[in-house]
Structure 1
Amino acid sequence: MRPFSFKKASLLNVPLLKTSAFALTVLVSSALIAGDGLKYEVANFSQGDLVDWEEKSFEGNSQYQFVSVQKAGIKSDKLKGDKQVLQASTDGQASGLFKEVSIDLTKTPYINWSWQVQSLFKGNDEHSKKGDDYPARIYVVVSGGVFFWNTKAINYVWSSNQPQGSEWPNAFTGNAKMLAVRSGEKQLGQWVQERRNVREDLKRFFGEDVKKIDAIAVMIDGDNTGQAATAYFGDIYFSD
């Protein structure tokens, strides 16, 4: 098992693949569903399912728990009958939930998720190590295999202050890229659905046609700012 070589950029020291055969597809509880198109489920938070998810701590433990949509105060027809969501909270802690999963980007290149952020961090420079905190982020990770230093990651973040749509290198490593899918207070407290073409994002960031990813993670972290924040995550799936 080889650890990651950089900090929160891609979950430092997380053993992404637990076998020496890095090409081996990890068997998980996800389901490939054919209907109007392909849909590969990786996070069934609406069902209270954290099977195969593990927590990685950097500075204390962020709080992750399932709460009812009603208790969370979420009012959105976009949840389509879902009764619970994953609540993520921090008060100066930093930990993330990750899941080993092999996704074939030639078949299902789009990641789909929904989230809601309740509060932002104030005064942090997200381009710096001291300001590398986000009220919500979702990682997609490409393993470097035995060359673990080649591990790559994209962080899809809800930025506190960077312009929506902006991109920048992670403060700790050039092998992780940050993308502000949402930013600031404009949709704060609203349930928002997202869709990104991971294959195209990886190609743009790294100049490579990456055909599969090896892990996914969700995180809320406030260890650098010492501030508090709360976010909610809905189901996550890949599609064509």
Structure 2
Amino acid sequence: MLGSVLALLLATPAAAAPTVMIGRFAPGSLAAWEHKSFKGETRYRLVGHGNARTLEATCDASASAIALRRKVDLRRTPVLRWEWRVDHIYPGLDGTTRAGDDYPARVYVIHDGGVMLWRTRAVNYVWANSEPRGAHWPNAFTDKAMMVAVQSGPPADPDTWVAESRNVRADFKRFYGLDLHQIDGVALMTDCDNSGRSGRAEYRNIRFTAH
């Protein structure tokens, strides 16, 4: 009997680790994503075909974002994973200033304070222009967003996808002293309005995982 039970356990596949998909884009649609314009319009569109489809973002002295309202349980899936690539950075910008608050690629995670807007907080993972990788600083326009340089400087190869992962629950605790049980949305932005330049980035496989 014991041998039969052990054989059954060994034959039963382990339960898959939970994954919350935010932006697979292949196949996909942007219908659930809301558009928010700050200055002009960054163009967001799906490119490619079938399982090779990705989200392309192009800006020309513009800044607008797309956001997906989605509650994610950080107790079960605290790690945000995504892949991105950029054509180029914006040399010479100081990201700690308003004039330099342009990035070829950004991924936001947002905790919504609801009617208590002062409780809203965001962590903004960016491909920085000059700030070193791993650096963090308050957003130049609001103290409710923390900027984190996940990548920095020109891409080694604009055609190569770069995979990222961040423990969002740990980051909110580190930057705000908040032990969050959930976040309420994710936003993406490629912007170049402050510097008047142009940029292009691609995003894919945005999801939350257990580890």
Q: What is aligned with 1:204? A: 174
Q: What is aligned with 1:103? A: 72
Letter in 1 for 2:181: K
Q: What is aligned with 1:193? A: 163
Letter in 2 for 1:118: D
Once residues 109 and 136 of structure 2 are traced to their aligned partners in structure 1, the CA distance between those partners, rounded to angstroms, is: 15
Query: Which consecutive unaligned segments of at least 5 residues does structure 1 have?
Result: 1-33, 70-80
Q: 2:84 aligns with which of 100, 110, 115?
A: 115
Once residues 182 and 161 of structure 2 are traced to their aligned partners in structure 1, the CA distance between those partners, rounded to angstroms, is: 29
Q: Is 1:183–2:152 an aligned residue pair?
A: yes
Q: Is 1:151–2:151 an aligned residue pair?
A: no
Once residues 157 and 113 of structure 2 are traced to their aligned partners in structure 1, the CA distance between those partners, rounded to angstroms, is: 36
Aligned pairs for 1:1-240 (under 5 A) are 35-68=15-48, 82-189=51-158, 190-240=160-210
1:145 CA drift (Å): 1.9
Contact 1:43 1:49 in 2 (8 A): no
SS in 2 for 1:82: helix
SS in 2 for 1:64: strand
1:61 CA drift (Å): 0.4
Once residues 204 and 145 of structure 2 are traced to their aligned partners in structure 1, the CA distance between those partners, rounded to angstroms, is: 24
- CA-to-aligned-CA distance 1:175-211 (integer Å, 9 cap, x gap): 2100000010253512111111000000000011011
SS in 2 for 1:46: coil
Contact 1:119 1:188 in 2 (8 A): no
Once residues 82 and 158 of structure 1 are traced to their aligned partners in structure 2, the CA distance between those partners, rounded to angstroms, is: 25
Once residues 123 and 200 of structure 2 are traced to their aligned partners in structure 1, the CA distance between those partners, rounded to angstroms, is: 22
Once residues 188 and 118 of structure 1 are traced to their aligned partners in structure 2, the CA distance between those partners, rounded to angstroms, is: 8
Letter in 1 for 2:197: Q
Letter in 2 for 1:185: P
Contact 2:79 2:208 in 1 (8 A): yes
Once residues 91 and 232 of structure 1 are traced to their aligned partners in structure 2, the CA distance between those partners, rounded to angstroms, is: 15
SS in 2 for 1:196: strand
SS in 2 for 1:121: coil
Once residues 187 and 101 of structure 1 are traced to their aligned partners in structure 2, the CA distance between those partners, rounded to angstroms, is: 33
Contact 2:61 2:191 in 1 (8 A): yes
Scaled by the length of structure 1, what TM-score is found?
0.78
Contact 2:86 2:155 in 1 (8 A): no
> CA 1:58/1:186 → structure 2, altered by over 3 Å: closer, same or farther?
closer
Once residues 112 and 153 of structure 2 are traced to their aligned partners in structure 1, the CA distance between those partners, rounded to angstroms, is: 31
**Larger Rg, first or second structure (1 or 2):** 2
Contact 1:165 1:181 in 2 (8 A): yes
> CA 1:236/1:60 → structure 2, altered by over 3 Å: closer, same or farther?
same
Letter in 2 for 1:175: K
Letter in 1 for 2:141: F
Contact 2:88 2:155 in 1 (8 A): no
Which deviates further from its counterpart, 114-123 or 41-50?
Answer: 41-50
